[in-house]
Amino acid sequence: MQLHERTASDLLIEMERGALSAVDLAQACLAQVKAHDGRVKAFLRVNEDSIITQAKVVDGKRQRGEKLGRLAGIPVALKDNLCLKGEVTTCASKILEHFKPPYTAHVVERLQQEDAILFGKCNLDEFAMGSSTENSAFQQTGNPWNSEYTPGGSSGGSAAAVAASMAPLALGSDTGGSIRQPASVCGIVGMKPTYGRVSRYGLVAFASSLDQIGPLSRGIRDSALLLEVIAGHDQRDSTSVNRPVPSYIATLDDPIAGLTIGVPDEYFQKGLDSEVEQAVRTALKVYESKGAKLVRVSLPHTEYAVAVYYIVATAEASSNLARYDGVHYGHRASQFDSMIHMYSRSRGQGFGKEVQRRIMLDTYALSTGYYDIPNKLNVPGEDLDKVIHYYREAHPYYNHDVLIVGAKNSAAIGALELFWTGARVTMVVRGAGIHHNVKYWIKPNIENRIKCGEIKAYFQSTVKEIRENDVVVQTPDGTITVKNDFVFAMTGYRPDFEFMAEHGIHLDPKTSKPITDPQTLESERAGVYLAGVIVAGTHTNEIFIENGRFHGKQIAEAIAQGNWPGG
């Protein structure tokens, strides 16, 4: 057996005996990479100088008789969603093509403490979303046994590197099978540790409540050794379990006589490949021949597992990937017209098709049940295209010039919500700025949009006159004319009656006739639609158009129940 084909456990023994140096082993593995990775494409990056430097450090410590770690001199390949300070970590995505993290993942720190050789970054499905390693933005990894076949995924690069003897050990991440499946496809050993056993600190998140880091190797003993190294409590991960790490190697040779193994009936249903079933049943017979007891069990909720996985995993992915906006880090589009355009173009250019599909599904899963728009439109809740169409292109204020007149936080709330519908918004605010009492997320949001010019704002200003197609505004710098299609007058969540009185808008929302009685005027709570001018008296999130008239949700319900007018 050639050097690069031996297990990590055997190689450690050879180095401890002095029959092998870390540099010799590193060079043997690098030779394998040069010989075969052009065909397999397991690695995204291999820094030969860094690998040899690390190996020389280990050999030097051994020659000086210094204490060495448990993986001293063993090359370990890393899936490229594990952070290494100052080294590019891409997650196989263009959006992180040049990202260099400012910190190192906990498991990588543990490898460094145990004197392992960090041996390159391996390919994966983009952001670990996939099961074939075909969704990488950079290259498609092949199975070392037959490069026309998939190595599995999403840790396909890590599995292929071990199977092709380019590295004796590798780390992958597993959300819904992304270590176990490629290990099986490539004919090596892979396992997903129990959630919380291994710290996720420094693992770029896909689905935080499912992700786990685990070992890939060519033997059970090697996987047990690598798990002992990376397992353990980490206070930087709130889900990390604070329990001692047992010796997994110590129990490898224990007899299994008396062990009970549950075999779920639901795992052998219609659709299971006959060869896979035969392989599993053959393995069960081996356990039985060694004295284990096989017991049939039922897991009745198994049929829902895939559906639940795709809800949980995709919903969490949508939240986790929201951070890639072209602002904080990652790819930013070079040309854009507005901040929203910059967000959408950066993400559209940076994310691959599979990630985009999952984000759309994920966002819909998170929003379902919170919007009643599908019911108002009388379309199925799953018809996402119609919902999006309604929210933007079909919205009555889409691509219209809208003027918001108000005070304190009401103008900011109204302006932001109308902006989200696709309106071109201008604010006229009596005060000197956005009021400090405005909701914490609205104040910075509206201020950023004003700063970048997406929303125009005139502070310490008032409306002097409303005309058919524009509004005359008095600002501290003089009088200006603002084009408008609609005008909203907001004071709290009620109409600005003073504003209405100043501009002669005294209309009964039921008769559209002038209101002369002040008491009647004060009791009204609905806005009025007249000649391109809207005066709104409710939170814009609750507003819709009915028969050409503008109503707040509660007011509309009151009208429908015959309880209008009222307070």
Other CB atoms closer than 10 Å to residue 223's CB: what's the count? 24
Sheet holding 117-122, edge to edge: 43-45, 117-122, 75-79, 169-174, 212-217, 189-190
Name the residues annotated as catalytic: 79, 154, 178
Rounded to an integer, what distance in angstroms lies between the CA atom of residue 199 and that of residue 238?
9
How many C-beta neighbours within 10 Å does residue 173 have? 27
3-state SS class at 183: helix
Name residue, tokens 């989200």: 420
Strand duo 543-546 + 533-535: pairing: unpaired
| Integer Rg of the chain from CA | 32
Whether residue 173 is preceded by a cis peptide bond, meaning omega within 30 degrees of 0, is no
Cα separation, 123 vs 150, in Å, equals 13
Distance CA 195, CA 300 (A): 23
DSSP string, 301-365: TGGGHHHHHHHHHHHHHHHHGGG-SSSSSS---S--SSHHHHHHHHHHHHS-HHHHHHHHHHHHH
Strand 75-79 to strand 117-122: parallel, antiparallel, or no bridges (unpaired)? parallel
How far apart CA 510 and CA 517 sit, in angstroms, is 15
Residue 151 buriedness (CB in 10 A; 0-12 / 13-18 / 19+): buried
With tokens 């260099």, the residue in question is: 100
On whether the CB atoms of residues 138 and 123 are closer than 8 A, the answer is yes
Tokens 């860094």 belong to 50
Contacts of 271 (CB under 8 A, 6+ apart): none
